[in-house]
Structure 1
Amino acid sequence: MVFWKKNGKVESLLYSADRAKILSMVREMGSMASDAFSKAVRSLEERNDELAESVITDDDEIDDLEAAIDQECLSSIAMRQPVREDLRFVFAVLKIITDLERIGDQGVNIAKKAKVLNRYPLLKPLVDIPKMKVIATEMVSDSLKSFEENDSDLAESICLRDDELDILYENIFDELLEIIGNKPEGDQATAQCAAGLLWIARHLARIGDHATNVAERVYFMVKGERLKPLLEEKRKVLSEKKGG
């Protein structure tokens, strides 16, 4: 079923089957990327090196799926000669899968840090890192939902949630800095563990950044407008209200 310009009306040249297939592949890739960092944090919580190793070895599957989606999008462009709306969809997908691949990479980074940290006793109970994992998981899930449903309002709300991750990261940073400052002289294990936990928190914050990127791509795909200037204006208004 091919469509073309007829009687002044432009119809979509991107087959609905193509779009459905791409959506399904992106959904699968997003699920794999989210599972990767979730399992990586669990490997630290449960002191489970095998779980961490599975995240590292499974990363190739995420990379392979990214390549397959990339090829599917390029084939659709070449074969269908899509109109503007479809091009916006395809180009959004090409950028979204880059962020999903990087989310998977952050999961690998967390898993590698967890394997090192599992050799030592925990410096403190894990509280804020699991909270960051939950928020990051929700952000990734909602960003994919906004993509599937063309929901620009949901995409906007995701970007605002990124501030929650930043606050938790700052809390972790302050706590670990205090631990390092109070450690006995020559206690390298404490310093190494603190640095590892801080890196894990940083990786989770970066996952939030990538989920925000996905949401911004979705907003542009739906609205044809950039979301970042709108968010900056809203944050400015909120800041002025708090200051007043």
Structure 2
Amino acid sequence: MLPGLPVYISVLFILIAISTVWLFYRATNYNRTTLVVLQGWLASQAVMALAGFYERTDTTPPRLAFLIGPPLLVIVALFVSKKGQHFIDTLRLEQLTLLHSVRIVVEIVLYLLFVHKAVPASMTFDGSNFDILAGLTAPLVYYLAFVRKKITRRMLLLWNMACLGLLINIVLTAILAAPTPFQQTAFDQPNIAISYFPFVWLPSVVVPIVLLSHLVAIQRLRTPW
């Protein structure tokens, strides 16, 4: 774990990761296989992080690729395979929309990590990260689209595309600020948090679930129900 970091920040992020998994589990109509896979992935990444695997940042390719690569491959497999497409078709769009509310607390944690010199300012809402807007608007969009039926499919599609852009922005910012051979920014205060437990769960669990939620919504909203 990060030396000198207050325990409450780590506990808060653990709750975020668990909440994200739980909300996605609800979106799958409580698919137990999904829950078991996610629990296994959470556990394996926790073990690797606690063993110090990700603290070695000078390797090529960067070890951080083990955080990002497998989830991205799974997402691709879901969209290109028949079984994966069937799984996507069963996901509940309203729950995927509400899931994005976790991004509010994620941004709060990132700011706390910045204060404790574990991430650069560019990764916070005080810098160039505006991802908190997705979290703040998610409950309202959920209410207006699925409870009051006041938002059209086109408006919901545009919201998902805009929020996907916000996600891509912070992901690229975080990657370029990580202390790897490919680091491009934030040399005075790099993104070291994602090399430690529990923050390895941000790129390996929380971000992939958020990404998948947007991609599924965009695909579904572009085609007739």
Q: Which has the larger radius of gyration?
A: 1
For normalisation by structure 1, the TM-score amounts to 0.36
For normalisation by structure 2, the TM-score amounts to 0.39
Greater per-residue helix proportion: 1
Task: Kindly indicate whether structure 1 or structure 2 has the higher relative contact order, using CA contacts under 8 Å at least 6 residues apart.
Answer: 2
